[in-house]
Amino acid sequence: MADHTHSSHHITSRKTYFFVFAALMVLTVLTWLVAQVDLGWANDLVALTIAFTKMMLVLLFFMHVRHSTRMTILTAAAGFFWLAIMLFYTLTDYFTRGASVLPVLGK
Amino acid sequence: MNTSAAHPSAPTTAETVSERKNYLNADYGILSWLLTRDHKRIAILYLISVSAFFALGSIFAALIRFELLTPEGDLMQADTYNRVFTMHGVIMVFFFLIPAIPAVLGNFLLPIMIGAKDLAMPKLNLASWYVYNLGGIFTLWALVHGGVDTGWTFYTPFSTTYSNTYVISTALGVFINGFSTIFTGLNFIVTVHRMRAPGLSWFRLPLFIWSMYATSLVIVLGTPVIAITLLLVAAERAFGLGIFDPRLGGDPILFQHMFWFYSHPAVYIMILPSMGVISELVAAFARKRIFGYRIVAFASVGIAVLGFLVWGHHMFVTGQSMYAATVFSVLSMLVAVPSAVKVFNWTATLYEGSISYQTPMLYALGFIGLFTIGGLTGVMVATLGFDIHVHDTYFIVAHFHYVMVGGTIMGYLGGLHYWWPKMFGRMYPGFLSRLSALLVFVGFNLTFFPQFLLGYMGMPRRYWSYPPEFQVLNVLSTAGATVLGVGFILPIFYFAWSLKFGKKAGDNPWGAVGLEWDTTSPPPTLNFYTQPVVTAPPYEYNREDVHNRTTQEAPVG
Amino acid sequence: MASSPLTDTHGHGAHHHPALAHQFDSLDQQKESSTLGMWLFLVTEIMFFGGLFLAYVLYRGRYPEAFLQGSNTLNVWLGGLNTAVLIGSSWTMVLAIWAAQVNWRKGIVIFLILTMALGSTFLVVKAFEYHHKWEEHHIPGKLGMFFNSPFQFAGDEPQHVEIFFSLYFIMTGLHATHMVIGIGVLLVLTILAWKGHYGPEYYNPLEMAGLYWHFVDIVWIFLFPLLYLLGAHVH
């Protein structure tokens, strides 16, 4: 029928699932470890990078985005992209008002 | 357009339209309506709810205009006036303008226009109607207890801290109502992607479908943000949390950013469906395919996307940074371009078309003129310097009423008049319907054009009294509102009359082209007698046999 | 010319699965439709929670010291434990789907029950954490007063720390609400799985519930570092 793309009946192996689970656990410990060290603004960057990586693992493997249709990937991407628009574009107002409004900029 | 016979469902001599099973007589009893999964019945349920809220919102409009007949505040107290214009806004925006075309016309027509038996998720569709009413109940509860006085924009900290009206229940009512819209949007996107008839590629879709699709994108991406914003307002008010209250370290501008991030795209939720209707009406009543079909389709999606990047133009005077304001101003001009493109394309379609002035066409022509004025004044207020002067004046009020009433409502009424015979199998009286259209057009302009002048001269909005030199224009405006009111009331009578006494409409009373006209009026429950297969582009009015097709029954309307 | 309208049968007398809804022509079309529908719903959830993350970013940028202090009062061990519990529950959720794919009915039930158990563990730990906040008088605004524990915080900007806790409670509270709903849905699916509704041919509801569950997990993956680990380097 309309727009019919044969969906994948791909069965991911339990081994793959276990490794993803293990990786997520390791990354959780890692994020806690890095947080113990004062890296200034890099703390945030590392924490978000690790969180982002964990999210990608969940998305690709647990949520099967790796084997999903282009439509699914596009939908998920659009959601995150729109969140980025909301965050970034709103913050441009605050970023251009000076450090008194956002002291973190002064650091 | 359809490989099935021209009128596969033409009645035999032995049976008449009304004797045949259609979605209206397929089942009887109130429960068969309240528990229906049929998108067409759900559309009718929405028609009733949406009309009721429109009537309520109109009463508040009447109260506003009566108060403003005189410069002094003498009809009601100032506090009451605040509640009146707030409830007018809340009800009209959230319970009428946003749902009307998608939930009534979209629900009814979308599956039929793409050759499907129903929407992708019929139960979700029914749920959306109940959720709509649940949201309505919360808001009505607040209303009978005195309503809200914050303006429909709920600006903080007044709404969260200082107002002593029923903000929480109204906010929750709108919050719940938002889910109704989200369910509809989800349903439409999935349906258009996955349930199109064989041969119906994207660029063979009617432009109404493109508009509904673009609208649904905006709904899905924007509505959750108003949801969380109002939830935060309710939480702050109930629990004294300092998110938006500067007294507690919060930021009222954050509220405005979050509120307008949705509420600006919301106006495109209101106008895109209406533009979709206009495309259908112009094609049908100029008997010509829409000029620049693909451009119009892309323009719809373009408006949807660009509409998310301009919200700061509502905040030019509230403390935004100058740099952000400039970016918002420039982008706001940009978003006018696809809208203007559509107006040009409709006009080009009319050129050398075979135009007939049936009632739907009157509304379509009215739309084109009024939306242009509304849109141009939109570009004016997008200009930073100009907006500083006219912000929060009647200029703004006039601008948005031109696009929302002159635009959205004209499209809604035009669509109702166009598809009414399809939905109910009956025609309405042509003289009365054309008279109503004329009254709406004249009344509307008399109501709102003076408001441009009032605003430019400095009359603020949301004020219950004004300097005496503004009275003449205000009286004109109220007079116009009265005419407009008559124009809105008349259809209630002749539409109701038509259900029982109207001339029976054939399958295609307008001689139009589209899958919806290839089935009976009213359609059967699963929409078609044979599964449509699409082999041609839309609006094939130039085809010889179609071009010469006269309307099956020449409706007087 | 057809004399009767389309009906519910799917044409050609073809056998159709009892789970096939009337508006669809095939299980595949139904599956792809519901998958797209669920993803669109998740997009709305991204924007819904996104608003809270926006508020967080703004106030963290504005009151960095206060947020540090507030964060330090949260128990990192419990937060970390909960993170592990949720990741584990996502693992058991995909295993439930795997069990359906290999036609192991009991396995579906076992893994769904494990998922619910881990989800419930998360909620219990959360309740414990909230109780701790109540003891320490960190419940903000009128909420604190309602629970007879008015907000108190020693330091030079208690009001800004209160904003941290407002966001903490709203974000984790909304997240917990989503967990409760998720557990409710899983309960229904467990019962249906026990009754044999799912197998290699049809396990779509499990996948849809799984998508929702994993999304809620992803929200927590971000909440954990942003709420709990801000001040971890301050000893």
- The tens digit of pLDDT for each residue in B445-472 reads 999 999 999 999 999 999 999 999 999 9
Question: What ipTM goes with this model?
Answer: 0.93
Grade residue B6 by pLDDT with cuts at 50, 70 and 90.
very low
Signed CA dihedral, B363, B368, B369, B375: sign only? positive
Contacts of B93 (CB under 8 A, 6+ apart): B152, B266, B270
User: Which residues does chain C have within 8 Å of residue A104's beta carbon, measured at their own beta carbons?
Assistant: 60-62, 64
Phi, psi of C199 (to 5 degrees): -160, -175
Are C84 and A28 contacting, i.e. CB atoms less than 8 angstroms apart?
Answer: yes
Which of B218, B257, B317 is most worth mutating to test chain A (most A CB atoms within 10 A of its CB)?
A: B257
A80 touches chain B (CB under 8 A): no
- What confidence score (pLDDT) does residue C41 get? 97
Determine, for residues B197 and A2 on separate chains, whether the beta-carbon distance falls below 8 Å.
yes
pLDDT in tens, B129-167: 999 999 999 999 999 999 999 999 999 999 999 999 999
Determine, for residues A47 and C229 on separate chains, whether the beta-carbon distance falls below 8 Å.
yes
CA of B186: which chain A residue's CA is closest? A75
A96 touches chain B (CB under 8 A): yes
Q: Give the C-alpha separation, A58 to A102, whole Å.
A: 33
* Residue B242 Cα, gap to closest chain C Cα (Å): 6
- What confidence score (pLDDT) does residue A99 get? 63
- What confidence score (pLDDT) does residue B2 get? 41
The one-letter code for the residue type at C141 is G
* Residue B232 Cα, gap to closest chain C Cα (Å): 8
Which of A28, A49, A85, A95 is most worth mutating to test chain C (most C CB atoms within 10 A of its CB)?
A: A28
What is residue B504's three-state secondary structure? strand
pLDDT in tens, B108-137: 999 999 999 999 999 999 999 999 999 999
Is residue C127 packed enough to be buried (19+ CB in 10 Å), middle (13-18) or exposed (0-12)? Answer: exposed
C60 touches chain A (CB under 8 A): yes
List C-alpha distances in Å: B205 to B247, B327, C63: 54, 35, 52
- What confidence score (pLDDT) does residue C72 get? 93
The packing angle between helices A70-95 and C27-62, to 10°, is 20
Q: Which of C60, C211, C233 sits opposite A37 (nearest CB)?
A: C233
Which residues in chain C come in under a pLDDT of 70?
1-4, 7-15, 235
What is residue B426's three-state secondary structure? strand
Determine, for residues C232 and A90 on separate chains, whether the beta-carbon distance falls below 8 Å.
no
Whether the per-residue pLDDT at B13 is higher than 80: the answer is no
User: Which residues does chain C have within 8 Å of residue A12's beta carbon, measured at their own beta carbons?
Assistant: 94, 98
Q: Give the C-alpha separation, B176 to B172, whole Å.
A: 6
Whether the per-residue pLDDT at B5 is higher than 60: the answer is no
Determine, for residues B193 and A2 on separate chains, whether the beta-carbon distance falls below 8 Å.
yes
A78 touches chain C (CB under 8 A): yes
* Residue C46 Cα, gap to closest chain A Cα (Å): 6
Mean pLDDT for the stretch of residues B341-366: 96
By C-alpha distance, which of B297, B313, B300, B437 is closest to B384?
Answer: B313
Which of C78, C86, C90 is most worth mutating to test chain A (most A CB atoms within 10 A of its CB)?
A: C90
More confident residue, B466 or A107: B466
Which of B9, B119, B216, B243 is most worth mutating to test chain C (most C CB atoms within 10 A of its CB)?
A: B243
User: Which residues does chain A have within 8 Å of residue C207's beta carbon, measured at their own beta carbons?
Assistant: 64
Inter-residue long-range contacts of B377-380, CB under 8 Å, 24+ positions, other chains counted: B377/B402, B377/B452, B378/B332, B378/B336, B378/B403, B379/B332, B379/B333, B379/B336
User: Which residues does chain B have within 8 Å of residue A7's beta carbon, measured at their own beta carbons?
Assistant: none
More confident residue, C152 or A6: C152
Determine, for residues C36 and B122 on separate chains, whether the beta-carbon distance falls below 8 Å.
no
Tokens of A71: 């439509």
Neighbours of chain A (3+ CB pairs under 8 A): B, C
A102 touches chain B (CB under 8 A): no
User: Which residues does chain B have within 8 Å of residue A82's beta carbon, measured at their own beta carbons?
Assistant: 221, 308
Which of C9, C22, C23, C67 is most worth mutating to test chain B (most B CB atoms within 10 A of its CB)?
A: C23
By C-alpha distance, which of B218, B400, B401, B195 is closest to B300?
Answer: B218
- What confidence score (pLDDT) does residue B437 get? 97
- What confidence score (pLDDT) does residue B20 get? 73
DSSP letter for each residue of B199-257? T--GGGS-HHHHHHHHHHHHHHHHHHHHHHHHHHHHHHHHH---SS-GGGT--HHHHHH
Are B227 and B179 contacting, i.e. CB atoms less than 8 angstroms apart?
Answer: yes
Q: Give the C-alpha separation, A80 to A86, whole Å.
A: 10
User: Which residues does chain C have within 8 Å of residue B179's beta carbon, measured at their own beta carbons?
Assistant: none
Which H, E and C letters describe A3-66, residue by residue? CCCCCCCCCCCHHHHHHHHHHHHHHHHHHHHHHCCCCCCHHHHHHHHHHHHHHHHHHHHHCCHH
Neighbours of chain C (3+ CB pairs under 8 A): A, B
A73 touches chain C (CB under 8 A): no
User: Which residues does chain C have within 8 Å of residue A74's beta carbon, measured at their own beta carbons?
Assistant: none
User: Which residues does chain A have within 8 Å of residue B327's beta carbon, measured at their own beta carbons?
Assistant: 92
Mean pLDDT for the stretch of residues A2-29: 80
- What confidence score (pLDDT) does residue B552 get? 44
Signed CA dihedral, B183, B184, B189, B195: sign only? positive
Q: Which of C41, C62, C166 sits opposite B186 (nearest CB)?
A: C41
- What confidence score (pLDDT) does residue A39 get? 86
- What confidence score (pLDDT) does residue C5 get? 73
Signed CA dihedral, B393, B398, B401, B407: sign only? negative
- What confidence score (pLDDT) does residue A92 get? 92
**Chains A–B, number of C-beta pairs less than 8 Å apart:** 44
* Residue C84 Cα, gap to closest chain B Cα (Å): 28
Among A32-46, A83-97, B244-258, B266-280, which range has the highest average pLDDT?
Answer: B266-280
Mean pLDDT for the stretch of residues B378-386: 96
List C-alpha distances in Å: C225 to B53, B523, C42, C56: 46, 56, 22, 13
* Residue A38 Cα, gap to closest chain C Cα (Å): 5
Determine, for residues A93 and B321 on separate chains, whether the beta-carbon distance falls below 8 Å.
yes
pTM over 0.80: yes
* Residue A19 Cα, gap to closest chain C Cα (Å): 10
Tokens of B303: 């408006």
Q: Which of C22, C33, C141 sits opposite B241 (nearest CB)?
A: C141
Grade residue B550 by pLDDT with cuts at 50, 70 and 90.
low
Grade residue A100 by pLDDT with cuts at 50, 70 and 90.
low
- What confidence score (pLDDT) does residue C171 get? 97
Whether the per-residue pLDDT at B12 is higher than 50: the answer is no
Whether the per-residue pLDDT at A15 is higher than 90: the answer is yes
Which of B117, B160, B219, B226 is most worth mutating to test chain C (most C CB atoms within 10 A of its CB)?
A: B117
Whether the per-residue pLDDT at B357 is higher than 50: the answer is yes
pLDDT in tens, B282-309: 999 999 999 999 999 999 999 999 999 9
pLDDT in tens, B27-44: 889 999 999 999 999 999
